[in-house]
Structure 1
Amino acid sequence: MSADAVTYKGWRGIRRAFGTPSAITMLMLGFGSGLPFLLIASMTLSTRLRDVGLDLGSIGLISLASFFYLLKFLWAPLIDRYAFPLTAFLGRRRSWLLVSQVVVALALAALALTRPGEDVTALVLWVLVASFAGATQDSAVDAYRIEIAPADAQAALAATYTLGYRFGLILSGAGALYLAEFRGWEVAYLAMAALMVLPIATTLLAREPVAPESTVLRRIDFVGAFWQPFASFFSTNGLLLGLALLVFVGLFKFPDQVIGVMAGPFYLDSGYSKADIATVSKLYGIWMGIAGAFLGGVAVAAYGVRAMLFVAAIGVALSNVAFVLMAQFPSEIWAFYAAISADNLFQGFAGVVLIAFMSALTDRNFTATQYALLVSLANLPGKFVGGVSGYIVEATSYVTFFVLSALTVVPTLLLLAWLWRRGNLFQPGHQAPPESAAT
């Protein structure tokens, strides 16, 4: 049966899509994308820094070293248009994948050998390297997923990618914390670096996708590759609506993003051990996130993106208030489970809803670059405020910080109310011009 004759529609088609080699490939590539994130940009790193005695203000500032994850749209056009020179023989997508994965592994190994309490400069340097390589890997994986299978198989590939990503989070969260508790941080980071062998092997064994043809893309030169995706976004939506959409995406998960850096220190300061944090936050919590993602997918299919954006925004804000319960009952494991249940369930739910919305905003001629821009904006505001969140906590309290973070949902809801009447914004593929369909 030819590729053109294969259909992935209906339940039988979904089962066929999940059984393809591409689905297994995306599982492993998702694992490679998820593995480094907590180690260089979130809770595992901040927990390590607090464990060696760094103050909260310094921890927040050091977290800004992972900012490349927020700026990957700046070099995404290069990933779209060219193969990486040294590994070009693998093809355009796999050449970037292999180089970025190898650099991530080397940077994690280097972080294992640094001493944060003695040489913060070396730690920040390697976090920068790992952040740039990890962000590049993410962009290459997104492009690979889009090109490796037809549109009606993308749901299965996205699902297997997400499952692999969550497995990466479990190992770099719970796994790394368990190893750190019993064997030390050096062993934990070296073990994580070794696990990058799995996605590296997958890249070497996987097939290179055939890039879709586009007359629009063929007319774009090197300079146009950088500005045309952004010009297309604003020409389609107009300046006012385009800016409103970008601000809305940037604010949507702000309540969740702003508390991310302080989560690890808060758990330690509340009297929980690293093993407790691993079990509840990075093992149980990951599965709650998977459950939330499943619920989000079902809810979007049943009720549409627009209504679920409202539900998700409210849920993310209220889940922050759940951390007040932990602050009121420190060291109580039931309070930890309750807060993590609410937080991760709504994180997973909101993540799927936001992905569906951002997909509807993307011009299919510039998927990699525009999607990278939207993902970066979804994390940028919270990331920068998270960088100074330690000072906010030290000036007030954890309880005040969590309440204030929940209240930041108000601007998001006001923007959503303004966008509500523009129903076509919430339909998949509404921005794709006729020419993009003929690819």
Structure 2
Amino acid sequence: MLVFGFSAGLPFSLLVGTLNAWMGEAKIDLATIGIISWIGLAYAFKFLWSPLVDRTRLPVLGRLGRRRGWLIVCQLVLALTFLSLSMTDPALAIGTFAMVAVIGAFASATQDVVIDAWRIDVADETATVEILSSIYQMGFRIAALVGGALALVLSARISWPAVYMVMGIVMAATVIATLFAPDTARPAEELGFRELREPGAVHPKLRALGLAVVGLGWAWAIVTIANFMMRILSVQPGDPNPPKASEFTASTGPWIIAATVFLPALVATYFNWLRTNGRNVLAEAVPATSGTQRAADHAYSALLLPLADLVQRLRWGVIIALGIILTYRLTDSIWGPFAFPFYLTELQYSADEVAFASKVFGVFMTIAGIAIGGVLFVTLGRYPTLILGAMVAAATNLLYADLAAGAHYIDAFANTFGLSAMGVDPRMVRLMVAISGENIAGGLAGAAYVAYLSSIASKDYSAVQYALLSSLTLLVGSLGRGALGEMIETDGYVAVFHLTAALGGIAVVFCVLEWIRASWQNRRGTTAPELMPTSDAARVTEGDTAA
């Protein structure tokens, strides 16, 4: 489990974070970096192909076990990805470079699906899911240090291609653990989702139609994003009318959100109405009799069942909940890919300084933020902590605005509290103050957000519901990165940080509305949704906490 946690964390760190530092040093424009960062959507969309991974037996490698065959494929593809990146110059072949990174991101996301399933499969009374989840986190954190801090330190001494070649070799070595790992046999007959075929459930044929509509919406969104990525990465020099990420985000972004969030919610609402009114529902149980029917049930449970349950319990309040989900971590996710270019290229910090400040010192500040969040939960309660988390996450963007403008306020803070008299380089003090503020706020906001998602997740559908909702968290921020990169190129970092701070205010408004809604609900005496069990929360939040 330790090695599998490392195997999951290394590509996440190298593809979502460190790759941007390489591209920044290669003088790739920030708009392009923002577009390439869309590869992180693979982690957000991974639940879409999880039924395929769960039910498909690979030829030849399938003999190794239900999960090990898939793991070996993913790990070898990732090793080849890093080796291929090491042989590609982003300054000369950015299209090829991006395509290799996309393949790696999909392999990494698929590996996450398999590892999550393996952990659940092999857990027993001795190696419980809780223990395995904790060990997974340890491996993931070690990988974050190797793929983040160590990679930056190595890049200052050897070339970036050499760094990724070393990481490719390290990734290939994880196959050894996979070959010796235990595995579980594939059941002779995998059961479907029984509650979908009991009396009173929506008729399977109608569910299939609704699933097709939602599937087409998701397919259109993914193809549209991929097509724009290819267009913008294949622009020839001197093109009089190149595609612009800002125009795509403004014109197509809202439709992508509508197709992937609001269309499924509307279909789920319609199905709830049918069940409530007894229309087009089963009069008797109709068990699934084929692999196609069971796969359709699995897909329905991943895409529509979580939303149907949420709409049924929250009713109109689901609009506020989706607003929080889409905007709460927006300020962090939208500018994250530009952090390394900002530190290394704009502010001219060394790789060693950034590695220490962001990947070592910053980790402790994040832990401090999580601890503060725990204290605030006890003293203030859930919703005040949620609101405060949104406020500080937005406000700390102003720290970076000050850092980009010369750090006048940060210097005043450091002088007031004697930080500048500790014998540390004043430039390093500025960086550490800014990173401390952001990471403490991020830890606090992250803890508050995970607790909120857990509070609205049903015990009956905890895993799939949490997985879907946490995936949607990344959607708006990811779509806005290309436009943000263009804005940095034209207006500079100071203006961008003021904008991201303002965007954070949207989440604050939604959080206040949710507190009002919850208070009104409690006054009416209705039952609040139950918290997800700790074991289930640990099972499905590794990607969020690691990020």
Q: TM-score range by the shorter chain?
A: 0.7 to 0.9
Equivalents in 1 of 2:368, 2:61: separation in Å? 39
Q: 1:198 to 1:392 in 2, by over 3 A?
A: same
- Equivalent residue in structure 2 for 1:279, among 338, 347, 356: 356
CA contact 2:303–2:468 (8 Å) conserved in 1: no
- Equivalent residue in structure 2 for 1:381, among 449, 454, 476: 476
Alignment partner, residue 507 of structure 2:
412
Please list, as runs of the form range in 1=range in 2, the aligned pairs for 1:125-136 lying within 5 A after superposition.
Answer: 125-136=99-110
Q: Deviations over 1:394-417 (max 9, x none)?
A: 232212211211221222222223
Residue 428 of structure 1 pairs with residue 532 of structure 2: yes
Residue 38 of structure 1 pairs with residue 133 of structure 2: no
**CA apart distance, 1:100:** 1.7
**CA apart distance, 1:50:** 1.6
**CA apart distance, 1:363:** 5.2
Alignment partner, residue 55 of structure 1:
29
Q: Deviations over 1:167-208 (max 9, x none)?
A: 211111111111111110011111112222454333333323
**CA apart distance, 1:240:** 3.9
Equivalents in 1 of 2:50, 2:15: separation in Å? 21
Residue 327 of structure 1 pairs with residue 404 of structure 2: yes
Equivalent residue letter for 2:49: W
Mark the runs of 5 or more structure 1 residues left unpaired by the alignment.
Answer: 1-24, 433-439
- Equivalent residue in structure 1 for 2:85, among 96, 111, 125: 111
SS in 2 for 1:196: helix
**TM-score normalised by length of structure 1:** 0.81
Equivalent residue letter for 2:304: A
Residue 141 of structure 1 pairs with residue 115 of structure 2: yes
Alignment partner, residue 392 of structure 1:
487
Residue 164 of structure 1 pairs with residue 241 of structure 2: no
Alignment partner, residue 246 of structure 1:
322
**CA apart distance, 1:107:** 0.6
Q: 1:130 to 1:327 in 2, by over 3 A?
A: same
Structure of larger gyration radius: 2
**CA apart distance, 1:148:** 4.0
Alignment partner, residue 261 of structure 1:
337
Q: 1:335 to 1:388 in 2, by over 3 A?
A: same
CA contact 1:229–1:366 (8 Å) conserved in 2: no
Equivalents in 2 of 1:29, 1:373: separation in Å? 23
**CA apart distance, 1:129:** 0.5
SS in 2 for 1:116: coil
Mark the runs of 5 or more structure 2 residues left unpaired by the alignment.
Answer: 197-286, 408-425, 523-527, 537-547
Residue 184 of structure 1 pairs with residue 261 of structure 2: no
Q: 1:411 to 1:85 in 2, by over 3 A?
A: farther
Equivalents in 1 of 2:54, 2:383: separation in Å? 30
**TM-score normalised by length of structure 2:** 0.67
Residue 89 of structure 1 pairs with residue 63 of structure 2: yes
Equivalents in 1 of 2:508, 2:394: separation in Å? 11
CA contact 1:293–1:349 (8 Å) conserved in 2: yes
Q: Deviations over 1:131-173 (max 9, x none)?
A: 1011112222233334444799544443332232222111111
Residue 227 of structure 1 pairs with residue 304 of structure 2: no
**CA apart distance, 1:235:** 2.8
Residue 237 of structure 1 pairs with residue 328 of structure 2: no
Equivalents in 2 of 1:426, 1:417: separation in Å? 21
SS in 2 for 1:208: coil
**CA apart distance, 1:425:** 3.6
Q: 1:86 to 1:407 in 2, by over 3 A?
A: farther
Q: Which moved more, 1:184-193 or 1:163-172?
A: 163-172
**CA apart distance, 1:241:** 3.9
Q: 1:84 to 1:124 in 2, by over 3 A?
A: same
CA contact 1:60–1:262 (8 Å) conserved in 2: yes
**CA apart distance, 1:305:** 4.6
CA contact 1:363–1:429 (8 Å) conserved in 2: no
SS in 2 for 1:195: helix
Q: 1:36 to 1:97 in 2, by over 3 A?
A: same
- Equivalent residue in structure 2 for 1:313, among 374, 385, 390: 390
CA contact 1:142–1:368 (8 Å) conserved in 2: no
CA contact 1:76–1:368 (8 Å) conserved in 2: no
CA contact 2:390–2:445 (8 Å) conserved in 1: yes
**CA apart distance, 1:125:** 1.0
Equivalents in 1 of 2:377, 2:175: separation in Å? 34
Equivalents in 1 of 2:371, 2:355: separation in Å? 23
Q: Which moved more, 1:281-290 or 1:207-216?
A: 207-216
- Equivalent residue in structure 1 for 2:74, among 100, 104, 111: 100
Equivalents in 2 of 1:107, 1:324: separation in Å? 36
SS in 2 for 1:117: coil
CA contact 2:86–2:165 (8 Å) conserved in 1: yes
Equivalents in 1 of 2:372, 2:171: separation in Å? 30
Equivalents in 2 of 1:303, 1:157: separation in Å? 32
Equivalents in 2 of 1:233, 1:243: separation in Å? 15
**CA apart distance, 1:300:** 5.3
Alignment partner, residue 224 of structure 2:
none
Q: Deviations over 1:323-367 (max 9, x none)?
A: 123223368111100111122233233334433433444456665
CA contact 2:455–2:529 (8 Å) conserved in 1: yes
RMSD: 3.1
Equivalents in 1 of 2:337, 2:181: separation in Å? 35
Alignment partner, residue 242 of structure 2:
none
